Amino acid sequence: MKSPLFNSLQDLKTLQRELQLRQREQQERLVREAAQARLRDQERRLFELSIGPVTTLPDKGLVQHARNKPEAEPLQRELDEREALRQALSDDFDVDSLLETDETLSFRRSEIGPDVVRKLRRGHWTLQAQIDLHGLRRDQAREALGGFIQDSARRGLRCVRVVHGKGNGSPGREPVLKGRVRRWLVQKQEVLAFVQARASDGGSGALMVLLKG
């Protein structure tokens, strides 16, 4: 059995070791801080020798707010969507059998009645947006049209106008995009019907398109 005196000596030695350890840690910290201070002082002197004397600006007590990081832009997703649009709209799609046999070659899906086409032709729905494909190459026009229809449907728009031109400036005065635009629109599931625009809305150079609500 250990005596109380023996236990007291052991506790004292343990306490002494702990104090010595803390002293060493404190000394090492002070040495590191001194070394860092000397390094900062040397860097300051080198800086002053390079550009001249430096005056410390007074502390105005301003709060430095952390700036919010900008939201990540889904660039790859947008590229994928554009590529999907380009591949989805085919120039080889047989559209003739789907067009109405009127003089304007209008279109309506099977579940859409003729009265809807008549209303669209008379301007029953308010025009909410339009896209002008003048001057665009075929692939550019296809991508622009696909994106426009998709975005319009996503926004809940019902009636939009697609301007493809009359072909007055094309070789042979033939509209280059007119037939292709009809072919592309038929392939878009968002499109319920389209008709040639009234004279006041572009005539044979534009289409009025009805989208799903």
- Separation of alpha carbons 191 and 104, rounded Å: 17
Tokens read off for 156: 């809940």
What global pTM score does this model have?
Answer: 0.55
More confident residue, 2 or 145: 145
With vertex at residue 151, the alpha carbon angle to CA 106 and CA 186, rounded to the nearest 5 degrees, is: 25
Per-residue pLDDT at 80 exceeds 70: no
The pLDDT score that the predictor gives to residue 179 is 85
- How far does CA 202 lie from the centroid of its chain? 32
**What would the pLDDT profile of 27-64 be if each residue is shown by its tens digit?**
888 888 888 888 888 877 776 777 766 677 777 777 66
pLDDT band at 7 (very low <50, low <70, confident <90, very high): low
**What would the pLDDT profile of 172-212 be if each residue is shown by its tens digit?**
555 678 888 998 999 999 999 999 999 989 898 999 999 99
- Separation of alpha carbons 174 and 168, rounded Å: 7
